[in-house]
Structure 1
Amino acid sequence: MSDKKTKKSSQNSSGKTSGKKSDERNLKKKEKRELKVWQKILKVVLCILAIPVLVVVGFFVWATVNEYRPAPVEKVEIDTTEGTGKKLSKGDSLTVVTWNMGYGALGDNADFFMDGGTSVMTAVPERVDVNIAGFMGFLAGMNPDITFIQEIDRNSKRSYNQDEATKIQGDIPILLKSVNEEDPDYNGYVMTFAYNFNAKFVPYPVGDPIGKVESGLAIYSKYEVEDSERISLPCPYSWPVKTCNLKRCLLVNRTPVYDSEGNDTGKELVSVNLHLEAYDNGEGKIAQTKQLREFLQEEYNKGNYVIAGGDFNQTFSNVDLSPYPVHEEIQDVWKPGTIDVSEIGDDFECLMDNSVPTCRSLDKAYNSAPDKSDFQFYMLDGFIVSKNIKVDDIHTQNTFFAPSDHNPVLINITLE
Structure 2
Amino acid sequence: MKKLVKWLLILLSVFVLIIGSYVAYVLVDYHRIPDNQTLTVTQKAPKGKLSTNHNYRIATYNIGFGAYLPDFSFFMDGGKSSWAKSKKSVQYAVSSAVNTIKKEKVDFALFQEVDLNGTRSYHVNEENLLTKQLTNYSHTFAINYHSSFLFYPLTQPHGKNTSGLATYSRYPITSALRRSLPISTSFSKYLDLDRAYAIHHIPVTNDKDLVLFNVHLSAYGNSDSIRKAQLAMLKADMEKELAKGNYILVGGDFNHNLKAKEGDKSSVTWAYPFPRSSLGDDFTLAMDSLSQAELENLANSARNTDTSYVKGKTYTVMLDGFIISNNIKVNHLTTKETGFAYSDHEPVLMDFQLLD
TM-score above 0.5, yes or no: yes
Cα contact 2:260–2:273 (8 A) shared by 1: no
Task: Specify the alignment match of 1:351 in structure 2.
Answer: 286
Q: C-alpha distance in 2, partners of 1:48/1:281?
A: 38
* Structure 1: 5+ residue stretches without partners: 1-36, 174-187, 260-264
Moved more, 50-59 or 340-349: 50-59
Shift of 1:69: 2.2
Identity percentage of aligned residues: 34
Closer, same or farther in 2 for the Cα pair 1:253/1:378, shift >3 Å?
Answer: same
Q: 1:189 aligns with which of 137, 141, 144?
A: 137
Task: Specify the alignment match of 1:234 in structure 2.
Answer: 182
Task: Specify the alignment match of 2:149 in structure 1.
Answer: 201
Task: Specify the alignment match of 1:380 in structure 2.
Answer: 319
Q: C-alpha distance in 2, partners of 1:317/1:396?
A: 13
* Structure 2: 5+ residue stretches without partners: 288-294
Shift of 1:111: 1.3
The answer to whether 1:159 aligns with 2:159 is no
Task: Specify the alignment match of 1:340 in structure 2.
Answer: 275
Within 5 A, what are the aligned runs for 1:16-95? 38=2, 44-80=7-43, 82-83=44-45, 86-95=48-57
Greater per-residue helix proportion: 1
Q: Deviations over 1:80-102 (max 9, x none)?
A: 3x446532233332111111111
Task: Specify the alignment match of 2:244 in structure 1.
Answer: 302
Q: C-alpha distance in 2, partners of 1:413/1:351?
A: 10
Cα contact 1:68–1:243 (8 A) shared by 2: no
TM-score, scaled relative to structure 1: 0.77
Task: Specify the alignment match of 1:250 in structure 2.
Answer: 197
Task: Specify the alignment match of 2:63 in structure 1.
Answer: 101
Task: Specify the alignment match of 2:291 in structure 1.
Answer: none
Closer, same or farther in 2 for the Cα pair 1:337/1:318, shift >3 Å?
Answer: closer
Task: Specify the alignment match of 1:216 in structure 2.
Answer: 164
Amino acid in structure 1 at the alignment position of 2:343:
S
The SS at the match of 1:53 is helix
Task: Specify the alignment match of 2:258 in structure 1.
Answer: 316
Moved more, 401-410 or 335-344: 335-344
Q: C-alpha distance in 2, partners of 1:43/1:86?
A: 76
Amino acid in structure 1 at the alignment position of 2:177:
E
Task: Specify the alignment match of 1:268 in structure 2.
Answer: 209
Task: Specify the alignment match of 1:405 in structure 2.
Answer: 344
Task: Specify the alignment match of 2:290 in structure 1.
Answer: none
Moved more, 375-384 or 115-124: 115-124
Q: C-alpha distance in 2, partners of 1:280/1:286?
A: 14
Closer, same or farther in 2 for the Cα pair 1:360/1:244, shift >3 Å?
Answer: closer
Closer, same or farther in 2 for the Cα pair 1:334/1:373, shift >3 Å?
Answer: farther
Shift of 1:299: 1.5
Shift of 1:157: 1.5
The answer to whether 1:117 aligns with 2:79 is yes
Q: C-alpha distance in 1, partners of 2:56/2:252?
A: 17
Residue correspondences, number = 345
Q: C-alpha distance in 2, partners of 1:222/1:393?
A: 19
Greater Rg by CA: 1
Q: Deviations over 1:367-391 (max 9, x none)?
A: xx4xx22211111111100001111
Q: C-alpha distance in 1, partners of 2:98/2:222?
A: 34
Q: Deviations over 1:1-58 (max 9, x none)?
A: xxxxxxxxxxxxxxxxxxxxxxxxxxxxxxxxxxxx94x7655443322222222222
The SS at the match of 2:92 is helix
Q: C-alpha distance in 2, partners of 1:213/1:335?
A: 22
Shift of 1:171: 1.5
